[in-house]
């Protein structure tokens, strides 16, 4: 029964209807519409029913494999990039966890292991009821009472993108004479993030987290499966990083 559930969801229904339409066109030998339907079916199947999107994303995650945090050298600061939470006034904690929320606990583990005396929090801004809220400011206020008092927390404020986070971190590093940082972000985002931070002249040790693909999570890997949104999400993340890297190169940021 559970294996049939994907086919009663909107994406599964769309896949079944497109499959039926393709078979109908083949039986009626309508060559022009058959080619169009076959192309549409193939694209939908590859990106919702196969491991192809996962392989794309794994190619980014594999560039920086998991690290043993206990073996990392002590640095001057831990930099946790934004994207993991968004301010949410209705929530008791004041934040809403997003898909990249693994970045925050990864950074907190580093602080607990005393890998750096400073924690830098990045992030974008969110407009709620006409008022802008900073992800990093919200997190700083949330973490301040629970962190070791020997850890100094810095907020990068409203950041437009990863390049903006790198610029603001470089200014902090210059002001406080930091020589090395531990950079925490999602594994698929690490190649672009590491490049843009190194471009600012920072000595960076990557600490990738938020692994999504089964190749690194150790879960069972299936080449073919019922239609699901996971493939679309993986492809979207991969495409975002590819386009972002091309744009950053064009701007001279990496």
The answer to whether residues 77 and 39 touch, using CB atoms and an 8 Å cutoff, is no
pLDDT of residue 206: 97
pLDDT of residue 83: 87
pLDDT of residue 138: 87
pLDDT of residue 1: 55
pLDDT of residue 145: 78
pLDDT of residue 175: 96
pLDDT of residue 216: 80
Distances (CA, A) of 133 to 114, 128, 140, 156, 180: 30, 7, 12, 13, 30
The answer to whether residues 103 and 81 touch, using CB atoms and an 8 Å cutoff, is yes
pLDDT of residue 32: 77
Residue ranges of the chain with per-residue pLDDT less than 50: none
């Amino acid at each position: 029964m559970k294996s049939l559930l994907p086919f009663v969801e909107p994406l599964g229904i769309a896949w079944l209807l497109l499959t039926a339409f393709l078979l109908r066109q083949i039986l009626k030998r309508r060559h022009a519409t058959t080619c169009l339907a076959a192309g549409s079916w193939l694209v939908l199947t590859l990106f919702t029913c196969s491991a192809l999107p996962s392989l794309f994303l794994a190619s980014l995650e594999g560039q920086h494999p998991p690290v043993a945090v206990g073996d990392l050298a002590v640095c001057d600061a831990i930099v946790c990039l934004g994207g993991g939470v968004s301010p949410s006034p209705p929530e008791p904690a004041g934040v809403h966890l997003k898909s990249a929320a693994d970045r925050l606990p990864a950074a907190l583990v580093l602080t607990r292991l005393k890998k750096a005396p400073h924690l830098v929090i990045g992030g974008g801004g969110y407009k709620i009821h006409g008022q802008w809220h900073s992800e990093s400011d919200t997190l700083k206020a949330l973490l301040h009472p629970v962190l070791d008092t020997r850890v100094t927390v810095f907020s990068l404020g409203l950041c437009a993108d990863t390049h903006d986070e790198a610029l603001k971190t470089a200014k902090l590093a210059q002001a406080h004479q930091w020589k090395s940082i531990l950079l925490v972000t999602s594994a698929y985002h690490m190649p672009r993030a590491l490049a843009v931070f190194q471009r600012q002249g920072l000595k960076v040790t990557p600490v990738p987290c938020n692994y999504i693909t089964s190749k690194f999570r150790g879960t069972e890997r299936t080449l073919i499966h019922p239609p699901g949104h996971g493939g679309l999400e993986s492809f979207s993340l991969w495409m975002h990083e590819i386009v972002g890297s091309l744009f950053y190169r064009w701007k001279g940021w990496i």
